[in-house]
Structure 1
């Protein structure tokens, strides 16, 4: 009974995870900077070997969170899922910058029961009821993933860009919809609100299918989580950073991943 209660207590302290992605996850808008007082933007979401090439699997959108310039949450429209990509539309009814993010997570639990190894993969809400009381050799891995992009109607704003304090997040120093080829842009990465230091950030430009050179580069975050990118060419770019920490001091192993999409103008 004590072991059962201890297991439930340990599991209930965790948040949602998602297993590490073998393919590159992206959420690409049809436009990122628009004028006027009312506009529509379409989005493709997928996972593939090359960024923005829908050739592997559609992305599930259960974790989609769209934050309007005033901080409110807005629902997407015309949501569809095909074999290789998911799509949806967003009606921009407020001027300013919108944050469009697919936030995923969960836990993976490995345990033994009657000598057989078993696994549970799912949400925190389902964990305690899914792990039997007589389970032994229980190991838990927590995972969080964020895939996001930004669009601006009219003048850029920053209210929707505030971090939530959960998982890996991008904190803009340079506004993500004010990027120009040949000019440096600075951002910060945080994990659960703290600086994500000494991480490699992969930066890849779309359109690699039509080039011999994939045009990827790697930059590293400083002690405060900041990093700077000087964009070599205009285009749509994919940014990725991930980190994994082993189990220690009673805490489970955990991983966090960030995937961002930004447009760089000439």
Structure 2
């Protein structure tokens, strides 16, 4: 598999909730809670087949943004990209919660050229005019919006970084993701374009599949308010992922129809031991 450029990355993110066995991008902090006078955290970033395994290729760092508890952007220190993963350090200079995120947008689809031949393309909104000729016919587009993130805290966690943008799928936790312990109950709220994402399915997958031998996926759906309350599983690092809309089954003998818009969300969270 070739290195993913930004449009391809958007497509990779779009497949997160469709196929639990597919290559998926992730951000993995060395710790989600740091208690130290000089607080630092190291983030690994990669695309892999086994969740949190370093087995495929690095995730490029040029689109990753770290936001501090005061809303200011935080520098990515000691950033490097190797053969199988990227990594960077984050100085947690102020107490509170930090968000590390990668937001991607892309457009892909197909059209018929003047000769009547079917062509496919993938790119960005900016490249759309170049990708699709003005005289193209039977144009079919799918716009993708993807969000990948993780959270770390030092001192007392706060919730400033969870202020929703109102675009795409977002997790607005009632239970802070850096304050979750095995066996306790947690409540999460999902929003779609700033409104409650009712009956929204999501998946929770623990790392360590290679050694565990089974995926161990937990599937849940939100209520009419976009909320879900559930008992937290065993301690460890997990990926929560969700996508909208739900893929429609294809008619016999035809490929599945691509939606006009696809939105995905994924985040790495940690469940602490009791």
Matched with 2:264 is 257
Deviation at 1:37, TM superposition (A): 4.5
- Structure 2 stretches lacking a partner, 5+ long: 1-7, 16-21, 248-258
**Counterpart Cα distance in 2 of 1:86 and 1:223:** 39
Matched with 1:67 is 67
Matched with 1:198 is 199
Q: What is the TM-score with the length of structure 2 in the denominator?
A: 0.83
SS at match of 1:43: strand
Query: Could you list the per-position Cα deviations for residues 44-92 of structure 1 after superposition, in whole angstroms to 9, with x for gaps in the alignment?
Result: 1122222111212322333212110001112312222223222111111
Deviation at 1:245, TM superposition (A): 6.8
Matched with 2:41 is 41
1:152 aligns with 2:159: no
- Structure 1 stretches lacking a partner, 5+ long: 1-15, 247-251
**Counterpart Cα distance in 1 of 2:191 and 2:78:** 33
SS at match of 1:125: coil
Query: Could you list the per-position Cα deviations for residues 115-145 of structure 1 after superposition, in whole angstroms to 9, with x for gaps in the alignment?
Result: 2222332221221243211111111100011
Distance change in 2, residues 1:105/1:191 (3 Å)? same
- Tell me if structure 2 keeps the 8 A contact 1:37–1:95: no
Aligned-pair Cα RMSD in Å: 2.0
**Counterpart Cα distance in 1 of 2:50 and 2:230:** 20
- Tell me if structure 1 keeps the 8 A contact 2:28–2:150: yes
Distance change in 2, residues 1:244/1:83 (3 Å)? farther
Q: What is the TM-score with the length of structure 1 in the denominator?
A: 0.86
Matched with 2:183 is 182
Deviates further, 41-50 or 164-173: 41-50
Deviation at 1:236, TM superposition (A): 0.8
**Counterpart Cα distance in 1 of 2:190 and 2:54:** 27
**Counterpart Cα distance in 2 of 1:63 and 1:195:** 27
SS at match of 1:44: strand
Matched with 2:127 is 126
- Tell me if structure 1 keeps the 8 A contact 2:123–2:131: no
**Counterpart Cα distance in 2 of 1:37 and 1:96:** 14
- Any residues of structure 2 matched to 1:1-266 within 5 Å, and which? 18-19=10-11, 20-21=14-15, 22-114=22-114, 115-244=116-245, 253-266=260-273
Work out the number of aligned pairs and report it.
246
- Tell me if structure 2 keeps the 8 A contact 1:17–1:123: no
**Counterpart Cα distance in 1 of 2:47 and 2:198:** 27
Structure showing the higher strand proportion among its residues: 1
